[in-house]
Amino acid sequence: MNSSSTDEKVSEALKKVRTLIEDIVRHEQLRDGLTGLPNDAALSIEIEEALNSKREFWCAFVEIDHFKRLNDAFGYQKADAMLEKVGEHLRLACAYFPKGAKAFRAHGDEFYLLGTLTDGETDKVISENLDRVRRSVEGVRLPAGPEDAVMQCTVSIGWATTAMLSGPDLTARGVRIVLESAVGLAKRQGRNRVVCFSEEARKLEVRTVRDNCPACHVAFTVDLPAEETRSDALFCPNCGDRIARPPVALASKPTPV
């Protein structure tokens, strides 16, 4: 066999191996290690590609309610098990949508769903399907220790379609900000609900309250509408105790988180 021909075949084989390795590494870089879902970087890429191709899509931000309480009450290992279970439910829930959807875990207790808009898929239909997602997560029960202790959680979901957005909102960062404001409104309304983006959500002024609970002695940070921070009552997010005095420290925030 001609040596130059052999060298070419070896070179081509090595090139294919390098390409395969690069693909595997890139896949791992775009995957969340805990849930196996695509991660925050993958979400940004998907949104950018959809925007650049002018594809109409909807996107939802799914945040676990009071996740810190789960972590504090049951420990990080069991809390991680809940994150895995939520990720699994979101992956399966993608089948609720006509053209499917893709689930992402951005970080911590924050997940996203991204789907392509279809003809006839109204805002009402999207909202109803996202509520099915919410109810699915609400139904999760995980064993969490002795005496039949059970761990469960709820989620707040904020969503929008590209048809609702314009200008600076139509960027990967802009879409996230819009969805954060919608989830912020869901929190103001009591959590465990689905909220579609609106200008009402964007206009909410939020302040961060930092305090220390005299009952459980736990330091905490909580976001509240500006008007609520002027009241003389505050509730500890850790133990729920009513703190009968004004908040200790306030810091303005431009958007709800």
Q: Which domains does the chain have, with CATH numbers?
A: 40-201 (3.30.70.270), 206-253 (no CATH)
The percent of residues in the chain predicted with pLDDT above 90, rounded, is: 50
CB 218 within 8 A of CB 238: yes
Higher pLDDT: 193 or 13? It is 193
pLDDT tens digits, 149-194: 899 999 999 999 999 999 989 999 899 989 998 998 898 889 999 9
- State yes or no: pLDDT of 255 exceeds 50: no
- The alpha-helical segments, DSSP class H, found in the chain are 3-29, 40-52, 67-74, 76-93, 123-138, 172-188, 199-203
3-state secondary structure of 63: strand
Largest pairwise CA distance in the chain: 89
**How would you classify residue 108: left for phi > 0, otherwise alpha for psi between -120 and 50, otherwise beta?**
left
pLDDT tens digits, 29-73: 899 999 999 999 999 999 999 999 999 999 999 999 999 889 988
- State yes or no: pLDDT of 206 exceeds 70: no
Closest CA relative to residue 127, chosen from 193, 191, 172 = 193
Closest CA relative to residue 150, chosen from 65, 87, 81 = 81
Q: Please tell me the predicted confidence (pLDDT) of residue 121.
A: 85
pLDDT tens digits, 111-122: 999 999 988 889
pTM over 0.75: no
User: Exposed/middle/buried for 129, CB within 10 Å: 0-12, 13-18, 19+?
Assistant: buried
Average pLDDT over residues 223-227: 58
